[in-house]
Amino acid sequence: MNYPVWYIPAVGGPVVIALMAIVHVMVSHFAVGGGLWLVLTEKRARRLQQPFMLEYVKKHTLFFMLLTMVFGAITGVGIWFTISLVGPDATSFLIHFFVFAWAIEWIFFAIEIITAFLYYYTFDKISAKLHQLIGWIYFFAAWASLFIINAILSFMLSPGKWLENQTFWPAIFNPTFLSSSIFRTFLCFALAGSYALLTASRKFKGQEKEDLVRYNGKWILLSLLGMVPSLVWYYFSIPSSLLKGLPAKSILMKNSLIFLVTSIILFTVLVFLLTRWKAHKLRFSAAIGILAVIFIFFASFEFMRESARKPYIIGNYMYPNGMRVEQIKKIKDQPILDKAKWVHVREISGQNSLQAGEDMFRIQCYACHSLGFKNNFLPTLKKWNLKRISTMLGRLPGITPQMPPFIGSEQEKGALAQWLFAKSHAGQSPEQQKPVVSELSGASIFDNFCIDCHDSSDEIGDKLATIPSLQEMVTLIEKLDSLSEDMPPFEGTDREKQALAQYLLKVSRKK
């Protein structure tokens, strides 16, 4: 509410960040691991006196330079632009607090550029010793960049003691810093080997190709030996408060976990089989396949890291919509439209409540929810009536721990609910809404009212096994909101209540 919002509801800001970030991290991590790969492979080629391998390093250096220095550098700037546009409050905070960390990173970035140029353009023109020294300096500078960026990223997940003292070094050496640094370092190496397979499979043939493919296969498998344990360590270094809710946070989160585990297993198997067995036949398309699998692994990892952080953008300090935890404590139930800077409506009246609702959506929900491509909640809301939307808003985060609380007055909540209702019901008024459950079956009523929070009737059936009679079940449904703070009251008709009670009684007796 402090900054204007780059409002593209059909796409959603987070999608733009995700697209830019995914392509950038794949290249920026390669920029680090590739540095070590180049210098060690060059050393090996010279030690074994293998001219084809030296030629390979030279060819790969050009590819490396074109990918990391052009695409990597520009998408790096692109990420900075994108986060500034989508999350200006968080970006501003991170820029101000870590300004000298970014400035130090800039020094390393400059060293990276100069040494990368020197490494490529002085190949075979200076002594091997000096050439490799340039390679080592490049690698150190690139790794130092990773060290700093990772410190800031891990701070966002786990600010640790910074929350108590707000000083610089505890923010850098936060609880997940070390494990994530080690994990990312090994990931960089694995990526470097995977990219190197592209050049090996495309530019070489026969025995030379076999040697290079085997060499890179060994390189990747050794990287995995460090990467997998450090990933496990990283997982357990995440604060227990975040870890507790991790797999349950959302279905997407569970899917990402499945992708993460499957892709790393598949990657290991593919690399092992394709680089140890018939290595001389490795096709370029197979090398692309290997790279694609590690991309999926990496994307799943980044998605899980981002999701684990929710509902915060900076752990326990700031929400994705830019509101700070402390600020929310002060203004929780007060009107916010009069405090927000970039809204059309400051005071709600009969005529402007829909506009006010959209303003509320923009400043509170849009940071994570779009009305189209990603995290679109309109299909869910389509099944809800106005009262239910309003009730759920008031109960946030409730059963969805990844959501921040709703901030604003009752009137503002009503305006937001009204706007969401209008959006999800294509302009229909609440009075015109037809009953969403056309068929009076217990299962469809369960699907309509309960399924958003309760995975299945089986799960809930276990819990209800002790309810002795239909009447007791009806009574329970009538006082749902008194069972837990997170439960909304049942908002169906009496007939629907009866049908649901019968259904629940039936599923509870199945066990």
Partner 1 sequence: MNEVTSLIPIPDSLPVAALWLQILSLLTYFLHLVSTGITFGAAAQAIVAHHKGKQNPGWQEVAGTHNRILPFAIAFTINSGVAPLLFLQTLYGNFFYTSAIIMAIPLMTLLLFLMTSYYLAYWVVLKKRGSGKWKAGISLVVILSFTVVAFILVNINSLMLVPKNWKIYFSSMGGWNLNLNDPTLIPRYTLYLFLFLVIGGAFSAIFFSKNKKENSGLGFHFGANLAGYFSFVTAPAFTLFLLVLPEAIRDQLFNTSRLWGALIICFIILIILTGWFYLRRRVYLAGSLLVVSLILFVFIRDHIRFLHLQPFKDHFSPLAAQTQYGVMSLFFILLLLGVGLIIWLLIKVKKEYQSSTQQ
| Phi, psi dihedral angles at 192 (to 5 degrees) | -60, -45
Q: Which is nearer to partner 1, 108 or 183 (CB)?
A: 108
How many whole angstroms separate alpha carbon 231 and alpha carbon 228? 5
Q: Which is nearer to partner 1, 79 or 487 (CB)?
A: 79
Question: Nearest approach, Cβ of 296 to partner 1 (angstroms)?
Answer: 24
Q: Which is nearer to partner 1, 211 or 359 (CB)?
A: 359
3-state class of 314 per DSSP?
strand
Residues that bind partner 1 (CB under 8 A): 2-8, 16, 66, 69-71, 73-75, 77-78, 80-82, 84-85, 88, 91-93, 95-97, 99-104, 106-111, 113-115, 117-118, 122, 125-127, 130, 134, 137, 165-168, 341-342, 344, 362
Q: Which amino acid is at 351?
A: Q
How many whole angstroms separate alpha carbon 467 and alpha carbon 108? 66
Question: Nearest approach, Cβ of 146 to partner 1 (angstroms)?
Answer: 16
Question: Nearest approach, Cβ of 82 to partner 1 (angstroms)?
Answer: 7
Question: Nearest approach, Cβ of 326 to partner 1 (angstroms)?
Answer: 13
Q: Which is nearer to partner 1, 4 or 489 (CB)?
A: 4
Q: Which is nearer to partner 1, 67 or 440 (CB)?
A: 67
Q: Which is nearer to partner 1, 4 or 435 (CB)?
A: 4
Q: Which is nearer to partner 1, 94 or 368 (CB)?
A: 94
Question: Which of 236-272 are b and which e, b meaning 16 or more Cβ less than 10 Å from the residue's Cβ?
Answer: ebbbeebeeeeeebbeebeebbebbeebbebbbebbe
Q: Which is nearer to partner 1, 48 or 130 (CB)?
A: 130
How many whole angstroms separate alpha carbon 105 and alpha carbon 135? 18
Q: Which is nearer to partner 1, 145 or 275 (CB)?
A: 145
Question: Nearest approach, Cβ of 118 to partner 1 (angstroms)?
Answer: 6
**Can you point out the beta strands (E) in 153-281?**
none
Residues 6 or more apart whose CB falls under 8 angstroms from that of 7 comprise 362, 366
Q: Is the separation of the CB atoms in 320 and 404 below 8 Å?
A: yes
Q: Is the separation of the CB atoms in 173 and 18 below 8 Å?
A: no
Residues 6 or more apart whose CB falls under 8 angstroms from that of 321 comprise 1, 363, 364, 365, 366, 367, 368, 404
DSSP secondary structure letters along 57-99: HHHHHHHHHIIIIIIIHHHHHHHHHHHHHH-HHHHHHHHHHTH
Place of tokens 């990496």: 298
Question: Nearest approach, Cβ of 23 to partner 1 (angstroms)?
Answer: 11
Question: Nearest approach, Cβ of 260 to partner 1 (angstroms)?
Answer: 29
Question: Nearest approach, Cβ of 377 to partner 1 (angstroms)?
Answer: 20
- Cα 448 from chain centroid (whole Å): 29
- For residue 352, the 8-state DSSP code is T
Question: Nearest approach, Cβ of 95 to partner 1 (angstroms)?
Answer: 5
| Phi, psi dihedral angles at 221 (to 5 degrees) | -65, -40
- Cα 53 from chain centroid (whole Å): 39
